[in-house]
Homo-oligomer: A and B are copies of this chain.
């Protein structure tokens, strides 16, 4: 039933050749929206969705996400980008044009637990996660069959603390070969080194199995059980060099009670993890997430 998911992706790409998103971060001041929207109009673009957020109207940072359709975008985009430079510099902007038809090349890392990987693949097959899954990397063989049944290259790279550097070297080589733009840690249970993380700033999305900042680190369900919490949760965040301290994209929780042992917490938790991660990835793919400091703005 899901055989046509590659066709779905290709159709999506074709249908969105005229579509782009403009992401802007700049000091707040009057006239920004007027300048940007006049510019887009003058280039024949129609704004489909526009989101703005001002940290502080009295002089903080201003954030914009505009999604627009522009007939003939493929031909026009070089010129649009070139001409926007003047506005960018006038308002001291950091900005980026993202093209909807350029699906992000993605690598999924997974260890033994398959539920997050499965959810992502499922949503991807359904046409709900518009990305190119270039490869799946795992320190276990378990997910090979699933990956290969969908025609996705699978790399088995055994890993542990002692051989971390060699492992990451192999991984980085694969990621580079595939031109990876996004890494999803779908319950990948190895810690990444600062060196690895530095290659993919704000491009690595992790799912942590607790409502951060509670239960940072290992065995959060065991610790949630020991603490007797009445809610358990999961958190999806960008990976930085501080363990479980990166900018939070999305969180979810469910109620639990005294009858739920660690095993039940894990089962309930798996359902939270997979839906929280899938939402975070979807928002990232739609360029709805802007990182500012150690926080995120999510224009959902």
Contacts and interface: CB of A to CB of B under 8 A. Distances in A.
**Copies of the polypeptide in the assembly:** 4
Nearest to A29: B46
A230 B250 contact: yes
Contacts of A146: 1
B258 A230 contact: no
Interface in A1-52: 1-2, 28-31, 33-34, 37-38, 40-41, 44-50, 52
A79 interface: no
Given A46-B30, A57-B69, A295 B228 contact: yes
A223 to B, nearest CB: 8
B41 A2 contact: no
Nearest to A276: B230
A65 to B, nearest CB: 12
Interface stretch (A101-109, A178-186, A209-217): A209-217
Contact of A257 (B29, B114, B298): B298
A41 B34 CA distance: 7
A296 B228 CA distance: 7
A230 B128 CA distance: 22
B228 A213 contact: no
Nearest to A1: B142
A118 B114 contact: no
A241 interface: no
Main secondary structure of the interface of A (DSSP, over half): mixed
Nearest to A291: B228
A211 B231 contact: yes
Contacts of A271: 275
Given A38-B34, A258-B295, A212 B233 contact: no
A247 interface: yes
17 contacts: A1-B114, A28-B46, A29-B46, A33-B50, A37-B37, A50-B50, A211-B231, A211-B253, A213-B214, A213-B227, A213-B229, A214-B214, A227-B295, A228-B294, A230-B249, A231-B233, A231-B251
Interface of A: 1-2, 28-31, 33-34, 37-38, 40-41, 44-50, 52-54, 57, 69, 112, 114-115, 118, 122, 126, 128, 142-143, 145-146, 211-215, 227-231, 233, 247-253, 257-259, 267, 271, 275, 294-298
Given A34-B34, A48-B54, A229-B251, 7 more contacts: A1-B112, A2-B114, A34-B40, A34-B41, A38-B38, A128-B267, A211-B253
